[in-house]
Amino acid sequence: MQPFIPYQLGKFSITRPWVMGILNVTPDSFWDGSRCDTPQAIERAVRQMLNNGADVIDIGAYSTRPGADDVSPHEEMRRLEGAMRVVRNVAPGMVTSVDTFRADVASYAVECLGFDIVNDVSGGTLDGEMFGTVARLQVPYILMHMRGTPATMQQLTDYDNVVVDVMEHLRTRLDALRALGVRDVVVDPGFGFSKTLEQNYELMAHLGEFNRLGVPWLVGVSRKSMIYKVLGCTPGEALNGTTVLNTLALMAGAHILRVHDVKAAFEARALVEKTRQSQSNNCKL
């Protein structure tokens, strides 16, 4: 088991792995159980995440699954505003991240709605203004690996070595961010985005390598096809498989788990932390 490396991320201290709850304020996210497109559904989801121990809530208003409807920036902002109003009413001190690849939406979310973190599935590749915007906003930024667009990404899975290539891409993007003065960055290998099923598991098997990038890293595998295709089930039946992979990620040193099911991830973290503590106490054996 890899040691857990603590980091300071802006004003936040990551002294133990964070559980990031997913709040999709969309009508078309890939798993219908995660869709919250009414104020009542949003409130139920936020209360449940709060009660189950979420450290941060990641709010997305634009589905990035292949074939999803396009959403205008105005509509994306409108959905985010409604969701944030509920979150601040139910959980006023909750850390929030905005899941968007648009620089203008990120700017609005941080400056007008009070979001704390920008989570960009494209790693700045879909909006050339994103890096400059994050540098101006001076908020933590989650840099995910993806090729192409959500519509084309699964045609762009040719790698010499998926682990090496993803790490090199992220390292290059980190350098570009640092050149602009952005210091608080989390990297995400982008499970399911421009990777085949086999490549996803190759990344999973070598997750500990991401500690070498010298920044916190996030794993988002919750109920994805890399789980339900192997198990021959549906996304709705993929919680157990999600927990298994989240446990492997925690053992490799993951700093953030992005999940639909906060309680299961919270419990996995508790058990991995207990095991890591026992390993440390008996390291001289």
DSSP string, 95-107: EEEEE-S-HHHHH
From the candidates 79, 173, 223, 258, give the one annotated as an active-site residue. 258
Catalytic residue selected from 47, 224, 263, 274: 224
CA distances from 242 to 9, 59, 121, 226, 245 (A): 26, 20, 20, 10, 5
Give Rg (Cα) of the chain.
18
Answer whether 30's CB lies under 8 Å from 278's CB: no
Specify whether 11 is catalytic: no
Could you say which DSSP state residue 222 is in?
A: T
Using the CB atoms, write b or e for 85-116: b if 16+ within 10 Å.
ebbeebbeebbbbbbbbbbbbbbbbbeebebb
Annotated catalytic, 284?
no
Q: How far apart are CA 131 and CA 117, in angstroms?
A: 13
User: Which helix (H) or strand (E) is 120 found in, with range?
Assistant: strand 117-120
Per the CB < 8 A criterion, the answer to whether 141 and 122 are in contact is no
Positions marked active-site:
224, 258
